[in-house]
Amino acid sequence: MSFSFDSVAHLYKGVYYRMPQSLKTFLGSIYGAIPIEKRYGVAYSDFLNIFEKFESWDDTLKEEYLYYKTLETLMFAEQNITFYQKQFAKYGVCVSDFKSLGDLKKFPTMTKRDIKESIDDLYTDVMEKPAAYFSGGSTSSPTKFYHPLFTSRAKHKAYSIFTLKKAGYNYRDATLLLKGREVVDKSRNIYWDYEAVENMLNVTSGYIMSDKFPLIYKKAASFKPKFIFGYPSAVMDFMYATKAAGYEPLNIKGILLASESVYDEYIKELKDFYGDIPVFIDYGHTERVVGAYRIDNMPYNFLGAYGVTRLVDDEIVGTSLDNFVMPYINYKTGDEAEGKVSFYKNSDIVKSVSNIKGRKEDYLVTYDYRLISLTTLYVGHHLCSKVVANLQYIQKEPGKVIARIEKGKAYADKEKIYGGLKNLVKEGIDFKVEIVDKIEKSARGKWIACKQYLDIESIKAKRVKNIGIIAKAKASV
C-alpha cells in the first residue's frame, strides 16, 4: 500500500471549502507549495513514469504490458470480488481462458445498473482501504462506487499532469476554472472564489450569461490566467459574453475542456477568438476506468497504461488497471466512438478513435433564462444520495422545476432534498419535490434524467441574440 497525504486531506475538503477565503488562500498556498510528489506519495511518481514510458514504446511492448496488467485485474477479480466470481461462473469463463488481449471479449460486460444493484459484492478491502465516490453521468441518480483510498487519486493526478502537458499546461499554472462548485455571495457581488492549492479562480458558470458578467470578467482579467479549464458549454458562454461586452479576449496559452461533448465548430470558434492556441479535450469518467485525450481536431488517443479500452457495437467498453478495491471488467460507458478507429494487432483493444459521441447534455432553465447544466448538478448530487434512490427533473416553464424523487431505503426527507437542490443552483429555480414509488424508464429501459419540455436550442439562441444586457451592464462596472 502506498500512503498518500493528499488522499487523507481530500476527505476534509468540505471543511476547507467552508473556510473564509483569506484562510483558504493562506492554507491552500502553503499546501500547494509542497511538491506534488510529496503530497500524492510514491505512487504518483510511479504512475507518471509508467505513462511516460508507455507512450514511448512500440506496439509490441504496449501489447505485452496491457496483457499482463489485464491478467492482473482478472486474477484479482476472480479471487476477491463476489460479483465477478458469480458472473464468471454464469458465463463459463475463468482467468485461464485469457491467453491474449483478444480473449478479453470472452468475459461478460458490466453496467452502471450492475453497480447500483450489486455494490456490496463489487469491492473489497483486502489490499487497500476503499474510499466512496459518487457519479451522476447521464443517469438520473447518483451511483456510489469505491476507489482505492491512497493510489487512485495519485494515479489520476499523474494521468492529468501527463496529458495536460501536451497542451503546454504545467501544474499550478494560473487557470480560470469554469466547472465544478458553484460559489455565490450576492450581498457582496461575488460569483467566484480562489482555489490556492491548484492556483485556480473558480467562477460560477451559471452567471456568465447575465448582467453579472462584467464583474466576472474584471475578476478573471485581473487574475491573468494562462489557461481556461471548464465544461465546453461554460467556456463557450464565457467567449460569447466577452464578445457581447466588447472586451478583449483573455491572453491565454490554451483551453482545456472536459465532461461534455465538444463539437468541431466549438474548436473553430474558440481559435478564431483566442488565436491559434491548443484546445485540449479530456475524455474520462469519475469511475476512472479509461482515459483519452485529443488536441484540436486530432483523434482521441487512449492511454492504455491508464485503462484498457474495447469497442462493442461502437460503444466504449473499459477494463480498469491498478484498481485493487473495485476493479471494472468490460464496463459499458454508454459513449460511442465515431469515424476511424485504430486497434492493437489481433484484438478489439482501441488505440485511438476519430471522435467520441458522448451522451446528450441536459439543462435546466432559470427564470431569467440562464442554463444550468445537469453536469454541474451531478457534482453535488451525493448530498442527497442517502435519502433518495432515483431523481428526475421535469421542467415546462423557466424557473420552475419538479424534482421527482424515487423512495430509497431511507425515508425521503423532502425538506432536506429541497434544501440540497436550492443550494446546488443557488437561485433562479423554484423546486417542487415529489416523492414517488417508481420513476418510469425509457422504452430501452434507461432512467430518464430530465424531461425538458422547453426548447433549449431556441433559448440558447435567445440568450446570444439578447446578450445586449451584458453590454449594458458593462457601463456600471
Over the stretch 39-60, which tens digit does the pLDDT of each residue have? Answer: 999 999 999 999 999 999 999 9
The predicted pLDDT at position 136 comes to 54
Q: Which of 16-30, 154-168, 225-239 has maximum average pLDDT?
A: 154-168
Least confident of 179-183, 378-382, 432-436, 440-444: 378-382
On the CB side of 462, CA atoms within 13 Å amount to 11
Q: Evaluate if residue 363 carries a pLDDT over 60.
A: yes
Class of domain 169-277 as given by CATH: alpha beta
CA atoms within 13 A on the CB side of 352: 12
Fold match between domain 40-157+286-357 and domain 169-277: yes
Taken in order 442, 447, 453, 457, is the CA torsion positive or negative? Answer: negative
Is the pLDDT confidence value at 441 over 70?
no
Kindly report the backbone phi and psi dihedral angles of residue 93, in degrees, each rounded to the nearest multiple of 5, phi listed first.
-125, 160
DSSP secondary structure of 274-301? H-S--EEEEE--TT-S--EEEETTSPEE
CA distance 283 to 378: 17
SS3 of residue 234 by DSSP: helix
pLDDT at 353: 96
Give residue 35's identity as a one-letter amino acid code.
P
Global pTM reads: 0.80
Mean pLDDT of the chain: 86
Which of 296, 120, 72, 259 has the alpha carbon at shortest distance from 179? 259
Q: What's the distance, CA 135 to chain centroid?
A: 8
Residue appearing with cell numbers 431511507: 410
CATH class of 363-465: alpha beta
- Half-sphere exposure of residue 464: CA atoms within 13 angstroms, side-chain side: 12
Q: pLDDT tens, 132-153?
A: 887 754 434 567 899 998 899 9
Q: pLDDT per residue over 70-126, tens digit each?
A: 999 999 999 999 999 999 999 999 999 999 999 999 999 999 889 989 999 999 999
Instruction: Tell me if 24 sits within 8 A of 15, measured CB to CB.
Output: no
**What does 296-335 look like in DSSP terms, one character per residue?**
TTSPEEE-TTTEEEEEETTEEEEEESS-SSS--SSEEEEE
Output the CATH code of domain 40-157+286-357: 3.40.50.12780
Ranges of each domain in the chain: 40-157+286-357, 169-277, 363-465
Band (10; pLDDT cuts 50, 70, 90): confident
Which of 79-88, 290-299, 315-324, 361-370 comes out lowest in average pLDDT?
361-370
Residue 377: band (very low, low, confident or very high) from pLDDT cuts 50, 70, 90: low
| Residue 257, C-alpha cell as written in the block | 475542456
Pairing of strands 292-295, 279-283: antiparallel
Lowest mean pLDDT among 141-155, 180-194, 353-367: 353-367
pLDDT at residue 74, as a whole number: 98
Report pLDDT for 173. 97
**Average pLDDT estimate for 380-408:** 71
Each residue's pLDDT tens digit, 334-353: 888 989 999 998 889 999 99
Q: How far is CA 125 from CA 42, 131, 135, 449, in A?
A: 21, 10, 21, 33
Give the full edge-to-edge strand order of the sheet including 227-230: 192-195, 200-203, 175-178, 227-230, 254-258, 279-283, 292-295, 300-302, 350-357, 331-343, 315-320, 307-312
pLDDT of residue 466: 56
Higher pLDDT, 20 or 3: 20
* Predicted local distance difference test score (pLDDT) of residue 263: 80
